[in-house]
């Protein structure tokens, strides 16, 4: 199967899944059994499980990028140059790793560009 590289909009959407992961988990924990049967919550559960599974399979470097860029609100690493500087990498290298993270999530959840 041929895969198409995500465009800027796809990347923003897929990154938002990583950013909102904690909120998704909270939402799932508050959902009732009836709500969990809805398509929305089933998709949310699939997304949360995919993120958790991928995070576990990633090496320490990729986990650090995810933590710094998406999950750790206390750090000042909200820009890619800050992440690159903190990890002693070029911005291009960090962005290639970001693309790998995004592509893994897209493939894992069956993301389809519309």
CA distance 58 to 86: 19
> Using N-to-C axis directions, what is the helix angle for 8-19 and 21-30, rounded to 10°?
50
CA distance 26 to 56: 20
Reduced to 3 DSSP states, what percent helix, strand and coil does the chain have, rounded to the nearest 5?
75, 0, 25
Mean pLDDT of 54-80: 88
Q: Is the dihedral of CA 53, 54, 55, 57 positive or negative?
A: positive
Domain locations along the chain: 8-109
* pTM of the complete model: 0.86
* Predicted pLDDT at 76: 57
Residue 36 pLDDT greater than 50, yes or no? yes
CB atoms within 10 A of CB 11: 17
* Predicted pLDDT at 5: 67
Average pLDDT over all residues of the chain = 89
% the chain with pLDDT above 90: 75
Mean pLDDT of 81-107: 94
* Predicted pLDDT at 78: 72
- Phi then psi for residue 89, to 5 deg, are -130, 165
Between residues 4 and 101, which one has the greater pLDDT?
101
């Amino acid at each position: 199967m041929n895969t198409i590289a995500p465009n800027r909009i796809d990347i923003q959407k897929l990154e938002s899944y990583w950013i909102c992961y904690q909120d998704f988990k909270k939402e799932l924990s508050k959902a009732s059994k009836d709500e969990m049967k809805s398509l929305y919550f089933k998709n949310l559960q699939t997304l949360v499980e995919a993120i958790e599974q991928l995070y576990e399979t990633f090496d320490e470097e990729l986990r650090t990028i995810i933590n710094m860029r998406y999950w750790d609100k206390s750090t000042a690493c909200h820009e890619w140059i800050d992440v690159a500087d903190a990890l002693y990498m070029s911005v291009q290298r960090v962005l290639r790793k970001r693309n790998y993270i995004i592509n893994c999530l897209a493939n894992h959840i069956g993301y389809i560009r519309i």
